């Protein structure tokens, strides 16, 4: 049910006290006025703490700097006179015992009168003694249709036009911003160049970055990595490429649901974090990184509140990628945490959202230790797919060496024996291959020459890969993956051969 439909229903049902959490005062008040006009042209009385009531000459300034007096105007009007009272920022006064008592009295009185009190607030802050009398109504951010109408209005005003694809990209990038922020960032683009251009999508993403910084829970990560920067992992890359257009309007018309997310389980340094960044870049979506540790706070109930805020911000900025790195460390041993159940409640809120979310937030979670990962997170429906990212094969190591050397020495790439390097580095992860090349560069630089294949082999001989130092843990992880509990990210690997034999 849309906001207007729900608000209209509450007016007709004579709900006395309505609470709307939103930052968009101007937009929500316009919607309320439209609905009030359709409901018998009900008068609107708007109050704030600084100016009191506004709009009606007879009551101008009434209740100025007096929130209790603002409620008295409701009783002064004739019982049969319909009206809607909009109280801005009134959540700040709800803890006052006199105001709370007055609101409960009015809740009983207005059940028989065609009057409604609407409290506007940037967040939900309702005392326990008012939860039964206040009805919370969510006011969503502008949808694609509203944003497109606003962009076309600006284009018409400036005498410009945009191609259909760029217009769709611009509208999609604006989703998750308030209408005021959208107008502001588009006006900035027009002021700079006199018209809207394709590169203005970056300005919109910067505006989203400002919104994220204010939360201090999520980080906006610039994603420049490409799918081609990932060496190997062909199954995973094919899976991602097939879903590249799943967030478009054409996909909705086709009947496709939004992709839910991806859980990447595997050995450290095998490219799981790189994959999250490459997804965001390839799909042209903002990448948000969640540090789960920031969700937990000292005050009772604050951790749960931060979790809900994180979800609201992610959904507000959708479509987007939400990256949760090392989720196994964040929620390991949920049931045994000695924190009065805070971790369990945060985890419960998070996995419930994973199962029930309908917003286009694609969650990419990574984990290294399957033993400490709560089993609830593995249940079907939380993620679209669970991939196991193992150690690269010899062919994949060739691809990884090629990716790094193409970036480090593009002019001299053919001088390196990549086949030999891949053969001489068994059990090396992608991160260890990168570190090998860095060490080889140090060898060459210290001798005032460019590094070569022999330097790389010497550097590799000095590195002990994690596959040897943590052999037992990695073996357990590979045994778990070979049992068929996860899809393999690589097409040709020793694990895939083991699974085929089974």
Report pLDDT digits (tens) over 295-306: 776 555 567 777
Cβ neighbours of 209 (radius 10 Å): 16
pLDDT confidence tier of residue 339, bands split at 50, 70 and 90? low
**Fold agreement (3-136, 221-389):** yes
First-residue to last-residue Cα distance in the chain: 50
**Residue for token pair 């969650």:** 363
Sequential DSSP letters for 276-325:
HHHHHHHHT--EEEE-GGGG--SSTTHHHHHHHHHHHHHHHT-SEEEEET
Assign domain 3-136 one CATH number from 3.40.630.40, 3.40.50.300, 3.50.50.60, 3.10.580.10: 3.40.50.300
* 232 SS3 class: coil
State how far the Cα of 29 lies from the Cα of 75, in Å rounded to an integer.
22
Q: Give the model's confidence band at 328: pLDDT under 50 very low, under 70 low, under 90 confident, else very high.
A: confident
What's the token pair of residue 40? 């018998």
Q: Is the peptide bond before 319 cis (omega within 30 degrees of 0)?
A: yes
pLDDT at residue 165 is higher than 80: no
pLDDT of residue 338: 53
**pLDDT, position 201:** 77
Split at pLDDT 50, 70, 90, the class of 451 is very high
What are the tokens at 103?
């609101």
Cα gap 390→264, rounded to integer Å: 10
* Residue 155 contacts residue 197 (beta carbons within 8 Å): no
Residue 135 has pLDDT above 80, yes or no: yes
pLDDT category of residue 337 using cuts at 50, 70 and 90? low
Q: Give dist(CA 378, CA 381) in Å, integer.
A: 9
Q: Which of 143, 141, 128, 116 is nearest to 19 (CA)?
A: 116
Q: Is 99 helix (H, G, I), strand (E, B) or coil?
A: helix
Which residues lie across from 321 on neighbouring strands? 287, 362
The proportion of the chain whose per-residue pLDDT surpasses 90, expressed as a percent, equals 37
The pairing of strands 83-88 and 115-121 is parallel
Per-residue pLDDT, 334: 62
pLDDT of 27 > 80? The answer is yes
Which single residue is written with the structure tokens 């130092």?
469
Q: How many CB atoms lie within 10 A of CB 461?
A: 11
| Rounded-to-integer distance, Cα 64 and Cα 70, Å | 8
Question: What count of Cα atoms within 13 Å lies in the side-chain half-sphere of residue 25?
Answer: 12
Q: Can you say whether the dihedral through the CA atoms of 491, 497, 501, 502 is positive or negative? A: negative
Total residue count of the chain as it appears in this document? 502
Q: How confident is the model at residue 500 (pLDDT cuts 50, 70, 90)?
A: very low
Considering just the CA atoms, what is the radius of gyration of the chain in Å?
29
Answer for the pair 189, 200: CB distance below 8 angstroms, yes or no. Answer: yes
- Select the more confidently predicted residue: 328 or 44: 44
Query: Could you tell me the pTM of the whole model?
Result: 0.68
The Cα-based distances of 312 to 145, 199, 210, 211, 302 in angstroms read 21, 28, 16, 12, 15
Q: What is the per-residue pLDDT for 157?
A: 82
Interatomic CA distance for residues 410 and 403, integer angstroms: 10
pLDDT of the residue at 57: 76
Q: Which pLDDT belongs to residue 498? A: 46
Q: Quick one: CATH architecture of 221-389?
A: 3-Layer(aba) Sandwich (3.40)
Q: What is the mean pLDDT of residues 147-162?
A: 83
Give whichever of 70-79, 175-184, 276-285, 330-339 has the largest mean pLDDT.
Answer: 70-79
CATH level 3 topology of 394-426+430-464: Helicase, Ruva Protein; domain 3 (1.10.8)
Q: Would you say residue 107 has pLDDT above 70?
A: yes
Instruction: State the pairing for strand pair 44-48/52-54.
Output: antiparallel
Question: Parallel, antiparallel, or unpaired: how do β-strands 361-367 and 52-54 relate?
Answer: unpaired
- Domain segments of the chain as ranges: 3-136, 144-214, 221-389, 394-426+430-464
**Can you tell me which residue has the tokens 């089993």?**
375
pLDDT: is 207 or 48 the higher one? 48
Contacts of 305 (CB under 8 A, 6+ apart): none
* pLDDT at residue 495, rounded to an integer: 53
Name the band, by pLDDT with cuts 50, 70 and 90, for residue 272.
confident
- Residue 447's Cβ-side half-sphere holds a number of Cα atoms within 13 Å equal to 10
């Amino acid at each position: 049910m849309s906001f207007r439909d729900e608000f209209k229903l509450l007016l007709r049902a004579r709900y006395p006290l309505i609470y709307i959490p939103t930052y968009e005062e101007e937009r929500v008040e316009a919607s309320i006025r439209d609905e009030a006009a359709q409901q018998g042209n009900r008068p609107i009385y708007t109050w704030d703490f600084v100016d009191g009531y506004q709009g009606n000459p007879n009551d101008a300034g009434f209740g100025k700097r007096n929130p209790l007096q603002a409620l008295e105007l409701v009783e002064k009007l004739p019982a049969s006179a319909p009206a809607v009272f909009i109280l801005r920022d009134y959540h700040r006064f709800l803890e006052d015992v006199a105001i709370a008592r007055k609101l409960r009295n009015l809740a009983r009185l207005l059940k028989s009168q065609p009057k409604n009190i609407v409290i506007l607030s940037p967040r939900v802050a309702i005392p326990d003694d008012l939860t039964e009398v206040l009805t919370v109504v969510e006011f969503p951010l502008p949808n694609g249709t509203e944003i497109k109408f606003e962009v076309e209005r600006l284009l018409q005003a400036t005498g410009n036009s945009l191609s259909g694809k760029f217009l769709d990209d611009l509208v999609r990038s604006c989703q998750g911003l308030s209408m005021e922020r959208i107008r502001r960032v588009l006006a900035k683009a027009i002021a700079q160049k006199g018209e809207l251009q394709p590169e203005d999508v970056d300005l919109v993403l910067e505006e989203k970055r400002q919104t994220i910084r204010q939360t201090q829970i999520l980080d906006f990560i610039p994603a420049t990595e490409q799918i081609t920067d990932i060496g190997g992992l062909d199954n995973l890359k094919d899976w991602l490429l097939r879903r590249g257009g799943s967030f478009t309007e054409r996909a909705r018309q086709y009947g496709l649901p939004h992709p839910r997310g991806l859980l990447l389980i595997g050995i450290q340094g095998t490219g799981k974090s790189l994959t999250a960044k490459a997804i965001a870049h390839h799909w042209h979506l903002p990448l948000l990184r969640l540090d789960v540790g920031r969700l937990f706070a000292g005050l009772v109930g604050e951790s749960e509140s931060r979790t809900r805020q994180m979800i609201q911000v992610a959904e507000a900025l959708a479509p987007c990628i939400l990256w949760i790195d090392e989720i196994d460390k964040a929620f390991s041993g949920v049931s045994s945490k000695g924190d009065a159940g805070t971790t369990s409640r945060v985890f419960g809120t998070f996995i419930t959202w994973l199962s029930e979310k309908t917003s286009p937030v694609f969650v990419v979670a990574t984990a290294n230790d399957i033993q400490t990962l709560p089993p609830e997170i593995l249940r079907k429906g939380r993620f679209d797919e669970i991939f196991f990212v193992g150690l690269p094969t010899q062919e994949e190591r060739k691809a990884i060496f090629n990716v790094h050397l193409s970036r480090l020495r593009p002019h001299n790439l053919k001088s390196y024996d990549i086949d030999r390097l891949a053969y001489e580095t068994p059990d090396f992860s992608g991160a260890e291959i990168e570190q090998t090349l860095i060490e080889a560069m140090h060898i060459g630089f210290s001798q005032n020459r460019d590094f070569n294949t022999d330097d790389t082999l010497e550097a590799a001989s000095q590195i002990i890969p994690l596959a040897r130092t943590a052999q037992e843990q990695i073996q357990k992880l590979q045994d778990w993956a070979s049992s068929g509990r996860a899809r393999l990210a690589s097409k040709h690997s020793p694990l895939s051969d083991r699974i085929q034999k089974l």
